[in-house]
Structure 1
């Protein structure tokens, strides 16, 4: 049955593939294996035994088919982060939103097309915190072979992540109980780097060998659960050329900021003195006190020159590698200005004229943390009391996933038992307050935040007619913490119009909108104690997850679903689900 369904899928996608496009096919076998880091043997869940997982390399217009064979003990989905999935919401891979997880000892094949997309995306599990080890890069090269910038001599994926000793399936539950829940180390391409050691023996570092004068396209992916990162290479500078598989107006910098979920494409010319070695460093950014403080997460690799011209005299060259001067780990200003420098390279984008016109729907979404009472109590003590439980919210509603049927399937089948329990996400916060008041950060009995902590849990969605122009203003808050918020929308790219510090003021801040050449993204960095405004066209029918990409925000509920109606024609209508769409198991709790 599974083989027949896979054959049918292949036939369908091949029929949709243009004659000159290719079919890129992979098999992902998900299973557990032991890995040892920091003197500890850890059981981890991997694809094909690789950490990070296998890269998917394709050309614009290609069709990708991935056969997932689940030999792990957990329900699994794979989300193709940033792939637009045009009229293909069933393949988006958001657990309990677009599909039930692939159960242990079962298989499912994903198929999707990459028409109209070039650049760097990535894939990751979308059930529980397993994406910490289940992830990999997606590289989409231009069909013509030409870039709107100097063609690089080599592509180099750089995946920034974390190493966890903890059972990742238990990590989400620990968030809800406010337990200490930290990773063991940061990683670059799966290597912890020589700053981490086991009984005095340094961990392996990722090593990039370069040739003098050549240009390298570093495809940066932040796959971390916890932190935004600064990235630098000593002695070298970058030209930022793309983000989230959309080209940018190039700009030069020596430091890149990349938030969880984001990708950044940067050119690096190997133009430093070739006799030296140079450290590349990924440094986690965290909010300053009074926010709860994490250990300092930093990983470093090495850039080493090879094929040095015989005329170059390296005699007497220093042995030690050059170390870059990094921003402070509490520096949130550099990332604010870095993201503010992003501008689009395609002012002729086909949707930009519509985005510049009238807005059909406006949402103002406050992002914060609150609490709910334990044990279904109607009232309880707050301020860190054991009677209440920490949650995250959007407009004071903490998202709750269904556990018996995925939202998209329930909508398609007209399942009233589930659809009747889905609430509309409020357009604005239910009670206005000074969202960025630093006095709201500390959690303590009698603290200023205690009166506005109470939050409710619900399955929320917001419905849009086909082709509606939607504006969303995300407002970060100081409620019980003051982190930034990398907000990711499935199924659509959006235009980032502006960002700012403090509370958003429509009367004044809308005048700062960039409607000339805004960057096109799928993940927006909403700054700490600030806001970001986006617009998109709801032109892809389906049920699309919108959530923060910090795991400690999405797991406790900083999420919702945007439902886009079918259009007026068969070509704008979501097709039926695949016949082998996974079924839910009542025996196993599944989380996002």
Structure 2
């Protein structure tokens, strides 16, 4: 008979053995990112761009669930740089999240920093990008996390195909950022698929190169989509083919069959495409979506690539047309298709996430109702004073959450460092305010009459907004519900809202003004999709819940660059838990310092 001490020793032995085996099975995935400027030519113009390792998009990071990722970033650019690992939960590694001035100071020119984190409990497609100024337009790449078992909850595809939808800018991206703050118009020159602008663009009559995907009939391809654009949500189609969506934001969903995808900035998507069409050539198209008038209108951005079957027989059999077949795209002002696309996704959770779903179903500790819109502040530092609005040059436009525009007034220390020093009795003064849990004023949030920015317009009295560094603090393991309400305040666009450090359940979305008495009953608490970025629909709302179980300071913001640059952001502060394995460790010794920041 085994005694209690013997049983404990045996249990400890097997636990140590399990840890040892897990360590052996896990790998270290190591990369070196050299950030520097180089010249690239598109549309007859030579443009100086900031890239990683001379690539646009940047290098792919591929790992297996449970691996440790180590990336040495060597900054040879003239700008301070951080790299955000978009969607990686960073469990107890908030220091590696890469949100500039939130979790770290930027990596200064001619210096280096090493990011270290583990990709545990996640499978699918994520991405990485710069999180300083608008530099993510060219500083980005895909992050693929494959299952440790080697199998998927669906038929294993024959090949992975990264599809990164982005934009090509012919402007200094740091100046683009400043232009946003001065309410100047700043638009990209073109859309791109995997860095190729496509044959719809030309330079003096010579068409730009297109991305080409060569396929074999009968095989299944996993398209790993990323929307890396600064500006737009995109529709994506391939002529003659359908898709089965199997994952979003590195979480599995119940297979959803469709011929069109809608992907917002920041979102990622895993999609199966069977090469079951006649062996010809088919165009793939990415088309930007835009809110219709009375919203301000910009040009349409579109990129076209090619799906080409091996052994295409155009002349021999005349089965195929000389021209590649082109898909019929939704209208660029069609916001209904994206609304229904996102609303049709349901979750397929692994066992490890079932307890989270039970918790968010059973209790809610914190409820936030956050309005998303635009307002104005008075120029000259008199942000809450009296000035002319309605497009006057005495005021400037900003984006907000509950009429507070996020602004970092302190740039000598990151918010996470300030929190750490406060916890350890060192005083570093950083002035923060609590993000209001509700808007200061209730109005018809989706009234189209609020859009026109004109003197005496209906929205003018709603414009006054203030700037502050806002934080919302949550106790460890609190269940948080956030209802995002898009508004028509000076524009009526959708809002892709991204939460760092946590995935959340998307419980419902709707058109018009959120009404708890009516809409709570529509919540999907059975199989909601789990995401890190939710597309809050135009003139509508979305409700999410998550468990705040990862201590740190986590940025939460809109992924439209104009919106984040002008203040549609806040920080979620999650407290430490009661144990060592729920407490944020100290910062790495090589964490960058904020001295001599170059902006």
TM-score category of the 2 structures, normalised to the smaller one: over 0.9
Following superposition, the deviation at residue 350 of structure 1 comes to 2.6
- Pairing partner for 1:395 from 371, 389, 402: 402
Q: How far 1:317 moved relative to its partner?
A: 3.2
Q: Does 1:533 align with 2:536?
A: no
The equivalent residue for 1:283 is 287
Cα deviation code 1:227-280 (max 9, x no counterpart): 000000000000010000000000100000000000011100001110x21000
Q: Counterparts of 2:20 and 2:68 in 1: how far apart (Å)?
A: 10
The 1:578–1:416 alpha-carbon spacing in structure 2 relative to 1, beyond 3 Å, is same
What corresponds to 1:296 in structure 2?
A: 300
**Secondary structure at 2:317's aligned position in 1?**
coil
Contact 2:313 2:320 in 1 (8 A): no
Q: 1:330 aligns with which of 320, 328, 333?
A: 333
How far 1:347 sits from its partner (Å)?
7.2
Q: How does 1:215-230 map to 2 (within 5 A)?
A: 215-230=220-235
- The C-alpha deviation readout for 1:539-572, integer Å capped at 9, x for no partner, is 0000000000000100000000000000001111
CA gap 1:257/1:235 in 2 versus in 1, 3 angstroms: same
CA contact (8 A) 2:475 2:575 kept: yes
Q: Residue 8 of structure 1 corresponds to which residue in structure 2?
A: none
> Hey, what does 2:258 align to over in structure 1?
253
Q: CA RMSD in A?
A: 1.6
Alignment partner of 1:264 is 2:273: no
- Cross-structure match for 1:168: 173
1:318 aligns to what? 321
Name the counterpart of 1:410. 418
Counterpart CA distance in 1 for 2:164 and 2:209 is 15
Map 1:381-460 onto structure 2 (within 5 A): 381-401=388-408, 402-414=410-422, 416-419=427-430, 421-460=431-470
The equivalent position to 2:475 in structure 1, one of 465, 471, 486, is 465
Deviates more, 1:340-349 or 1:455-464: 340-349
SS at match of 2:420: helix
CA distance in 1, matches of 2:20, 2:172: 42
Whole-angstrom CA distance in 1 between matches of 2:167 and 2:37: 17
Distance, in Å, in 1 between the alignment partners of 2:20 and 2:371 is 44
**1:534/1:16 Cα in 2 relative to 1: closer, same or farther (>3 Å)?**
farther
CA contact (8 A) 2:264 2:496 kept: yes
> Are 1:210 and 1:305, in contact at CA under 8 Å, matched by a contact in 2?
yes
> What TM-score, normalized to structure 1?
0.95
Shift of 1:27: 0.1
Once the two structures are TM-superposed, the CA of residue 179 in structure 1 deviates from its matched residue by 1.0
Query: Contact 1:347 / 1:516 at 8 angstroms: preserved in 2?
Result: no
SS at match of 1:212: coil
Paired residues of 1:235 and 1:272 also in contact (CA < 8 A): yes
> TM-score with structure 2 length normalisation?
0.94
Deviation at 1:309, TM superposition (A): 10
Which of 498, 515, 520 does residue 530 from structure 2 map onto? Answer: 520
- Matched with 1:11 is none
- Counterpart CA distance in 2 for 1:534 and 1:432 is 21
Between the aligned partners of 1:538 and 1:134, the Cα distance in structure 2 is 30
Match of residue 9 from structure 1: none
CA separation in 2, counterparts of 1:320 and 1:278? 9
Please name the residue that 1:576 is paired with.
586
Q: What SS does the corresponding residue of 1:552 show, helix, strand or coil?
A: helix
Q: Does 1:210 align with 2:215?
A: yes
- For structure 1, the 5+ residue unaligned runs are 1-13
8 Å CA contact 1:33, 1:49 repeated in 2: yes
**1:233 aligns to 2:238 (yes or no):** yes
Q: Secondary structure at the match of 2:520?
A: helix
Aligned to 2:586, what secondary structure does the other structure show? Answer: coil
Task: Tell me by how many angstroms 1:307 deviates.
Answer: 4.6
1:372 aligns with 2:377: yes
Q: Counterparts of 1:123 and 1:237 in 2: how far apart (Å)? A: 28
SS in 2 for 1:351: helix
What SS class does the counterpart of residue 173 from structure 1 fall into? helix
Which whole-Å CA distance do the structure 2 matches of 1:418 and 1:441 have between them? 39
Compared CA separation, residues 195 and 16, structure 1 to 2 (3 A): farther
Deviation string 1:502-536 (CA, Å, 9 cap, x unpaired) is 01001110000000000000000000000000000
Q: Deviations over 1:476-510 (max 9, x none)?
A: 00000000000000000000000000010011100
Aligned to 2:9: none
Indicate conservation of the 8 Å contact 1:212/1:308, yes or no. Answer: no
**2: distance between equivalents of 1:123 and 1:329?**
28
